Amino acid sequence: MRERAVLLTLSGLLAGAGCSATSKESLVPPQTVEMDAETLRKFQHEVEEYVELRQKVLTKIPPVTTKATPDQIAAHQKALTEAIVAYRKGAKRGEIFGPEVEAAVRRTLHRAFSAPDGPALIKEIKSGNPTVEGNPSARDPTKEVKQPVTLTVNTFYNSAAPFSSVPPSLLLKLPLLPDQVRYRFVGRALILRDTEANVILDYIPEVVPDPSIPR
Amino acid sequence: MKRPALSWNAEVRLALAALALLLAGSPAPAQELRLPVKDGSIRFAVIGDTGTGSTAQYDVAKQMIAFHAKLPFEFVIMVGDDLYGGSSADDYRTKFEQPYAALLSGKVKFYASLGNHDNPDERNYKDWNMSGQRFYTWRASPGGLGKLDNPGVRFFALDTNYMDKPQLDWVESELKKSSSEWKIAFFHHPLYSSGRTHGSSLDLRAQLEPLFMKYGVSVVLTGHDHFYERIKPQHGIYHWVCGAGGSLRKGDIDRGTGLTEVGFDTDYSFMLVEIDGTDLYFQAVSRTGQTVDAGVIHHEPFPASAAPSPLPPSPGSTPVAPAPVSPGPPKGSPAPVVSPSPSVSPSPPASPSPKPSPAVKTSPTRRRPATPRRSPSPRPSPKPSPTPPP
């Protein structure tokens, strides 16, 4: 399949301010997404549509300020989550990660995990991965209790569960996302999660080639 | 009326019960303070992996309150996992507001970074002073936070849960802009750690360390691994793991990494820091108030010509001296302190990222990391000091 590296200038469209092109003096590597330009455009379009929907939802729920109380934060999140789940009722796997996007993401991750640094990347993905790690128990914080995450589109990501690490070098190879949405790993799957609504928007199963990670 | 005589055992039991009641209802008595408490210094505490709501978290909080009476620190750095198991209003109350109530009412500010157990919307919480940002920076100056007439100490709170390109660009830009003599980064995932459970975040290190080296970060405060560890200086940078403020992994420090300067993994802990000019004093304290580590690191002032500009000096300029050297463990430390085995080589662990220089303590030059994309620029030369903390 024809592939070419699409640099930050394209994926940066989603990021908005703060996403400057890498200058000559910068030590920060460029965003290098190995994805066909049309496939990347489709993915960005799906994500943009979701963000637009989210913006509409935000106008209909109580706002949260940057000096919020715990009650305000909790109320805002609950309202946001419920509204998004209602708006996206019937959403299915693959609607954001379309077939071409999924194939390109799989190739990217396969290359990364097959590289010499692959085992180190997988080790970091295990860190905080909810199928691998739990929370310290309140009764005895030297012991951990796992919190299950149901891997289903348009469901609430268990707020008691931790979040996996996503190694920065992988983030530099995947399409850049706006602040409202993030990649995470749950077990061996890559998920797309709303940052604050805590909703699983889409996922790609079995992308981490490590059978020691429970599904 | 004559008081009935008690047996010796009964009297001891009564006395112990009375003592227990006293301790339960009031702040724990602070043990010896090893920091100098100098006029005009910047003082803060560091806690990590706190948010369990456990008795242990409350015990550590009591020690912080007790030490605050001796060292009135102005703020607390939180290195993530501030709330475990959810972020309901009740979670905020029982895992943060109640244990640290005395500090909050005493106007002590908390500056949080987010860990992998923290919901990102916690950045909007008023008492964590994140202003709705997942990564942010602020400056503390002698005589008041953010005072403008002194470059002071600049803190960089990062979100290592998601170190994407916009954040990396921001880190570089903000570090480059800062003329502060002390640049302190804090975040959740350690670039260096001897934790068996997690250990060093190598991929993160490969991205951040070259920036820290080039732009003069002196101190890195992290958590994630549930113990206290002071790492041997790596490329002139001091790294701490302070992840036992409410969680603990007993015996999790792998003594074979060769990274550990001092480690403590048998009880919960927090750290106190005092910065006075070019000196940074630190003291790590256990849940029972025992000092498990203490020392001072020094930082030479920036050369006058370099002070306003963090840009690298021209090629051929004076090589950089090693990072400041801290003294050994505190005198008479009563708590168990893990030291690396003498038979263990102090050489760096196998890593694809920049490797620590074994010459950092003794060589007058800094080695280049093994794999940075560009060589880091020299930094102001710190000097070793054998001076123990006061």
Query: From first to last of its 390 residues, what are the pLDDT tens digits of chain B?
Result: 333 343 444 444 444 444 443 444 455 776 899 999 999 999 999 999 999 999 999 999 999 999 999 999 999 999 999 999 999 999 999 999 999 999 999 999 999 999 999 999 999 999 999 999 999 999 997 655 444 445 689 999 999 999 999 999 999 999 999 999 899 999 999 999 999 999 999 999 999 999 999 999 999 999 999 999 999 999 999 999 999 999 999 999 999 999 999 999 999 999 999 999 999 999 999 999 999 999 999 987 655 433 333 323 322 222 222 233 333 334 334 333 433 322 222 223 333 333 332 222 222 223 333 333 333 333 433 333 333 333
Closest A-chain CA to B130: A66
Instruction: Tell me what pLDDT residue B302 has.
Output: 56
Residue that wins the pLDDT comparison between B66 and A14: B66
Q: Which residue of B has its CA nearest to A162?
A: B117
% of chain A exceeding 70 in pLDDT: 89
- CB atoms near residue A91 (< 10 Å): 20
Mutate which: A22, A28, A64, A139, vs B, most B CBs within 10 A: A28
pLDDT at B96: 98
Can you list the pairs that B302-310 forms with residues at least 24 positions away whose Cβ atoms lie under 8 Å?
Answer: B302/B179, B302/B181, B302/B380, B303/B380, B306/B380, B307/B151, B307/B179, B307/B181, B308/B179, B309/B179, B310/B175, B310/B176, B310/B177, B310/B178, B310/B179, B310/B215, B310/B216
CB-based contacts of B12: which residues, under 8 Å, 6+ apart?
none
Q: With 60 as the cut, is the pLDDT of residue A58 above it?
A: yes
DSSP 3-state helix, strand, coil percentages of chain A (rounded to 5)? 35, 15, 50
The pLDDT assigned to A211 comes to 81
State the pLDDT at residue B151: 64
For residue A22, list chain B residues with Cβ-Cβ distance below 8 A.
Answer: 169
Cα–Cα distance, B253 to B338 (Å, whole number) = 8
Give the three-state DSSP class for A124: helix
Q: What's the rounded Cα separation, in Å, for the pair B251 and B52?
A: 20
pTM of the model: 0.81
Please report, as a single letter, which amino acid is at residue A69.
Answer: T
Question: Does the distance separating the beta carbons of A163 and B161 come in below 8 Å?
Answer: yes
Distances (CA, A) of A18 to A15, B166, B178: 8, 6, 18
Q: How many CB atoms lie within 10 A of CB B105?
A: 8
Segment A154-201, tens digit of pLDDT = 999 999 999 999 999 999 999 999 999 999 999 999 999 999 899 999
Q: Tell me if chain B has a CB within 8 Å of the CB of A136.
A: yes
Closest CA to B42 of B82, B76, B19, B8: B76
Of B84, B97, B207, the CB nearest to A168: B207
Element (H, E) at B22: helix B8-25
Q: Which tokens is A83 given?
A: 């509204």
Q: Classify domain B39-298 at the CATH superfamily level.
A: Metallo-dependent phosphatases (3.60.21.10)
| pLDDT tens for each residue of A36-53 | 999 999 999 999 999 999
Q: Do the Cβ atoms of B380 and B299 come closer than 8 Å?
A: yes
What is the C-alpha to C-alpha distance for residues B162 and B57, in angstroms, rounded to an integer? 27
pLDDT confidence of residue A212: 85
The single residue listed with the structure tokens 């699409």 is A6
Phi, psi of B257 (to 5 degrees): -75, -25
What lies within 8 Å, CB to CB, of B85 at 6+ separation is A135, A138, A147, A160, B51, B52, B91, B117
Interface confidence (ipTM) of the complex: 0.91
Locate the DSSP E strands across chain B. Answer: 42-47, 75-78, 109-112, 136-141, 144-145, 153-157, 182-186, 219-222, 228-231, 238-242, 260-264, 269-276, 279-286, 291-298
**Mean pLDDT of the A146-157 span:** 94
Nearest-neighbour CA in chain A from B113: distance (Å): 15
How many of the other CB atoms lie within 10 Å of CB of A149?
24
Give me the residue spans of the domains in chain B.
Answer: 39-298
Tokens coding B337: 């302190």
A89 in contact with B, Cβ within 8 Å = no
List all residues of chain A from 140 to 179 with a beta carbon under 8 Å from chain B: 140-142, 147, 159-160, 162-172, 176-177
- Do the Cβ atoms of A145 and A137 come closer than 8 Å? yes
d(CA A166, CA B160): 9
Q: What percent of chain A has pLDDT over 90?
A: 81
DSSP letter assigned to residue B354: P
Q: Which of B47, B55, B57, B84 to mutate to test the interface with A (most CBs of A within 10 A)?
A: B84
Do the chains contact at A26 and B202, CB–CB below 8 Å? no
Q: How close B388 comes to chain A (CA, Å)?
A: 33
Chain B residues in contact with A77 (beta carbon < 8 A): 87, 119, 121
pLDDT, position B31: 82
